[in-house]
Structure 1
Amino acid sequence: MSTLSSENLILLNNVCKDFDTPKGKITVLQHINLTVNKGEKVCIVGPSGCGKTTILNMIAGFLQPSSGEVSINGKKVVKPGPDRTVVFQKDSVFPWLTVRKNLEYGPKVRGLPRSEWESKIDFYLEKVKLTEFADRYPKELSGGMRKRVDIARAYINSPEILLMDEPFGPLDVMTKEVMQKDLLDLTREENKSIIFITHDIEEAVFLGDRVIVMTARPAKIHSDIKIPFPKDRDPSLKMEPEFQRLRKQIDGIFKGVEQE
């Protein structure tokens, strides 16, 4: 069972989740015990419909467990909070606002004084390589650029935790690789904690400090695999024998889980 320590940031303690449907109750998650430490990146993989996004939504505070408890910094999660930001698969930029105005939106809504965030806008525009596109509208950007706006907008609100639901899924392979590297660099510099949902085993091994493999529904945690690589990673790592060994190991577990 997961236990709380001074390093634990997120704790799921014996979490179960049921949903009522016209055909009766469906149990999606069973007895999930998971801890995520401060600054840790945890990738979750598993069969479609097994409840990966449900876990993320409970940590976000959008859903409550049917039993068990989700806590952050020792406090029960009962609603969304400024310490958490969600980045979805589909970009959620506001099409009627420029890139800069998209980044300004969160701090303004939160009522923060301009002096607290104005300089951060240019900082994050530079970090996500969008400085020269600051006054463009989303329709003028590529899919990868819009996803960078999403991530920069998440960062501008200074969350402790990033919750990412297949954010790079729709992107082409080359753009995805660039985005993966950019995400690692940003989170390493600012020591963010990440829960990252993906179907891509290679992506999970490249991004994660740990990879969690879920069973089919009603889902439990099948495996919790520690990834031994340093936090500063380059895409060339994907060609290394140890990387390929881990990818094949997790892929084998994943395929076995899907067939159960």
Structure 2
Amino acid sequence: MIMGDIQEILVQYGELRHQGMDVRTALDSLRTIIDVLDEGDRLDLAHRIRAQETSSAKSSGSMRRIDKTEMAHTNDDRPVCPHCGKRNRADDRLCYACGQLLLGPDDTYQTRILGDEDEAARDDYFGQDSVLILTARNSSQVYRIHPQHSERELVLGRSTNRGPMMPDIDLSDSDGNRLGVSRLHLSVRYDTQYHTLTIFDLGSANGTFVNGQRLHPHEVRVLRHNDELRLGNMIMVVTFQHSATV
């Protein structure tokens, strides 16, 4: 989407706010055109709307100081983005981290506290006993990885006789060199708070793709069960194996 289209959404949003709609109602009325934006455009839109609302609050004198007790309570109520897991301000309707439209407390799909069984059913859930299995399509190689047992992120790439840097997971046996895998290609990190795996491209020469969508260098993405992960031209199927099925 070009910049003019984002500007047009902002104009429509501003008109709705001028008509007296609150932030949630205005964005809900624009949901159909916001949902078709890609992640980068949604993020741009979110930042612009947040800046616009902050500017309006300052000019109207409606901003006020919040004491520490109220701030602690407000932080507990901050909405969690269902896409990237980041917490947002209580009055945000678009995630500041990824631009995802956030659900409010009165929405049909109201956020609820998940129990252990609910968490395990999520396609992005990765527990302390889970195993990350990467199956290379071009070979019989299967990589079983436990990122939660590492104190730092794990690096996927291919080994080389030159240079001191070596990947934690060596994809050379899956013909990584011919398929365009960089020596330090991708990082995998375990998030203990949200029980998820996040990945980010380490500035690889031939890119990282999740389900056909290319990651920008150092862009963070949550990995999910049954994702298709492509490093250069090496395609791997992602499987999360949990303790009940190990």
- TM-score range (shorter-chain normalised) is under 0.3
Structure showing greater Rg: 2
- Report the structure, 1 or 2, having the larger strand content: 1
Q: State the TM-score, normalizing by the size of structure 1.
A: 0.24
Higher RCO (C-alpha 8 Å, min separation 6): 1
Q: State the TM-score, normalizing by the size of structure 2.
A: 0.25
